Structure 1
Amino acid sequence: MPNAIKNYVRYIDAINRRVGKFALYLVFVMIGILLFSSISRTFFNTPHLWTMETAQFTMAAYYMLGGGYSLLLRAHVRMDVFYERWSSKKRATVDTFTSVFLIFYLVILLYGAISSTHYAIEYGQRNYSSWGPPMAPIKIIMTIGIILMLLQAIATFFKDLAKMKGKEI
């Protein structure tokens, strides 16, 4: 593999590793928000409108930003009826082939995310709830998550392609 591809793979792996490790802490943020909501409602009889939606947005940020990291760790669900019995080279061949479909899907998803984010920013879109938070921040985070997963899918494609040829990146 050319050095440019090796550098790309290392760089994207490093970015997704850092973003993924940051995203892991968002679960604790969400737990804190829900705990605050529960305590304020139970002990002080002061429910807050913003807590449930903020927890939902935090969870969405968690799984969208963690997608690339999950792909880096090869932690996504796989149908391994035959997969585990195959040689590492055959797995890499199949993964290279299926990565093309994943990349195609992520490109289409990114197109929709950019369009939706643009709409949210341009028209000041707000959620249809009594609190009515702006939707642009979470849509921006979701778009970033899709970009990171797309970049990681391309990096994984190159790693599988190298492994298919009997080399490692």
Structure 2
Amino acid sequence: MKLIDNITRYVAYFTAIILALLVLLVVFDATSRYLFSEGSTALQELEWHFFDVVILLSIAFTLRHNAHVRVDIFYTKFPEKLQVLINIFTAIFFIFPLSFLIIYIGTGFVEMSFVQHEASSDPGGLKYRWIVKSLMPLAFVFLLLQAFKELVSDIKKWRSL
């Protein structure tokens, strides 16, 4: 279980680096566009791809730190045993099925993109669209691993309450 937390942590470090690079890229792009009237389609698409990395690879980290979106106005008022039961229920009936579905369908999209040599339709855009598309199933593999670890922890916690 420690291995899963370590994977999630290192993916989060990588995501933080990409986020810092995204900030620098946006500043550079905006400066070159507004001060020098020079723009680049490839730079704008790279910004979108970096944003995809940040969002998708942060999902498991968010689950690990219990910072995901839910209706906390009700959840926080529930007894701890009910909160843990809700976590178990949502992992089994929502996170696992959704993750498996996205991994299954997403892998097909990545494969099709790779085989077709999919690239940006914009002149000067980025090639190898399959790379960014591969983040979708990969992100949900990480989420699935983290959800499994959290499920095991929640079951232990529920039994001890």
The normalised TM-score by structure 2 is 0.91
Residue 122 of structure 1 pairs with residue 152 of structure 2: no
Q: Which residue of 1 aligns with 2:102?
A: 109
- Candidates 11, 14, 18, aligned match of 2:6: 14
Residue 84 of structure 1 pairs with residue 76 of structure 2: yes
Q: Which residue of 1 aligns with 2:135?
A: 141
Partner Cα separation in structure 1 for residue 119 and residue 58 of structure 2: 25
What 5-or-longer segments of structure 1 have no aligned partner?
Answer: 1-8
Partner Cα separation in structure 2 for residue 130 and residue 53 of structure 1: 11
- 1:119 Cα offset (Å): 0.8
Partner Cα separation in structure 2 for residue 127 and residue 119 of structure 1: 15
- Structure 1 residues 88 and 127: CA distance shift in structure 2, 3 A: same
Q: Which residue of 2 aligns with 1:154?
A: 148
- Candidates 15, 25, 32, aligned match of 1:33: 25
Deviation larger for 9-18 or 21-30: 21-30
Deviations 1:20-64, CA, capped at 9 Å, x for gaps: 122123222111111111222233332212111110100001111
CA RMSD of aligned residues (A): 1.5
Partner Cα separation in structure 2 for residue 129 and residue 83 of structure 1: 46
Contact 1:89–1:166 at 8 Å: present in 2 too?
no
Contact 2:103–2:136 at 8 Å: present in 1 too?
no
Partner Cα separation in structure 2 for residue 74 and residue 127 of structure 1: 36
- Candidates 46, 59, 66, aligned match of 2:58: 66
- Candidates 61, 67, 82, aligned match of 1:75: 67
- 1:131 Cα offset (Å): 2.7
2:72 alignment partner, SS class:
coil
What 5-or-longer segments of structure 2 have no aligned partner?
Answer: none
Deviations 1:92-115, CA, capped at 9 Å, x for gaps: 111101111211011101111111
The normalised TM-score by structure 1 is 0.87
Partner Cα separation in structure 2 for residue 52 and residue 58 of structure 1: 10
Letter in 2 for 1:103: F
Contact 2:25–2:43 at 8 Å: present in 1 too?
yes
Contact 2:102–2:136 at 8 Å: present in 1 too?
no
2:134 alignment partner, SS class:
helix
Letter in 2 for 1:123: Q
